[in-house]
């Protein structure tokens, strides 16, 4: 049984290829403005890594915000279900999933079998997402990849009170005018994002083991402040961006239509 899971997010498109229950290839590319083309390209690229083509696939399931416009998939499945399935496959003892993507964030409480017991999601506001970090990086003249390491240099994180991206941008400018050290400003931003997500997820609760997924999981500053604010270890897998795509491909293995 050969299946593909295609996760089309606001920032990136991801595909995972699964053969008989095990992932054999995956690929991540920017989504860009042409969603359908990106979904097809990332799937063909992932298949090429495995030496396969679209005609080899038995089923395809799409997920993510644009799952319903992936014309070549058999059906779409909620990213909440897919993320829980993907994480459970790789980290079966996960009991809390924190997922922060380009334009949304979510906290998921999976059961022991990988199904979803509860979840909460922020998809209406950029605060607590990768987009928030990108805007702040531009204001501070840093690349997004420099943000996490810069945050860890701080010994006195600045207080960032604004949860709105527009107001926070003005706050960054004010802090710079006050000659606050850049690393302290960056640390304050990361702490604010971590707190925003933690508060959002309190209705779900935080049970050990906590797994951090999504593109922002590659940011060591956010991981650090999540752990600091929660007082618990947060685990990041080798490929945190592909959990939704992996889960979709696994669901296609057992329920393709």
pLDDT tens digits along 17-33 = 999 999 999 999 999 88
Distance CA(13)–CA(64), nearest Å, equals 9
Average pLDDT over residues 60-66: 94
12 pLDDT more than 80: yes
The stretch 242-246 carries a mean pLDDT of 97
Q: Tokens for 1, please give them.
A: 């049984």
pLDDT of residue 125: 76
- Starting at the edge strand found earlier in the chain, the sheet holding 59-63 runs 22-30, 12-19, 2-8, 59-63, 75-76
First to last CA, the chain: 14
pLDDT (mean) for 49-66: 96
DSSP-derived letter for residue 202 is G
pLDDT band at 129 (very low <50, low <70, confident <90, very high): confident
């Amino acid at each position: 049984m050969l299946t593909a899971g295609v996760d089309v997010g606001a920032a990136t498109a991801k595909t995972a290829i699964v053969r008989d229950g095990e992932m054999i290839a995956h690929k991540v590319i920017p989504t860009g403005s042409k969603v359908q083309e990106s979904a097809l390209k990332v799937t063909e690229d992932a298949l090429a890594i495995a030496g396969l083509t679209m005609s080899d696939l038995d089923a395809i399931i799409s997920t993510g915000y644009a799952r319903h416009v992936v014309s070549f998939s058999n059906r779409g499945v909620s990213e909440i279900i897919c993320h829980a399935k993907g994480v459970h496959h790789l980290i079966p003892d996960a009991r809390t999933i924190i997922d922060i993507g380009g334009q949304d964030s979510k906290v998921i409480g999976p059961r022991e079998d990988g199904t979803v017991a509860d979840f909460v999601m922020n998809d209406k506001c950029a605060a607590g997402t990768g987009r928030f970090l990108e805007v702040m990086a531009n204001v501070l003249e840093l690349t997004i990849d420099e943000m996490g390491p810069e945050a860890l240099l701080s010994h006195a994180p600045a207080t960032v009170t604004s949860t709105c991206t527009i107001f926070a941008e003005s706050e960054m400018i004010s802090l710079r005018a006050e000659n606050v050290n850049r690393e302290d400003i960056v640390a304050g931003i990361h702490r604010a994002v971590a707190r925003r997500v933690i508060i959002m997820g309190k209705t779900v609760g935080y049970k050990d083991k906590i797994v951090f997924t999504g593109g922002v999981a590659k940011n060591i500053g956010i991981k650090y402040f999540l752990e600091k604010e929660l007082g618990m270890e947060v685990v990041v897998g080798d490929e945190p961006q592909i959990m939704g795509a992996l889960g979709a491909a696994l669901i296609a293995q057992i329920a393709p239509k």
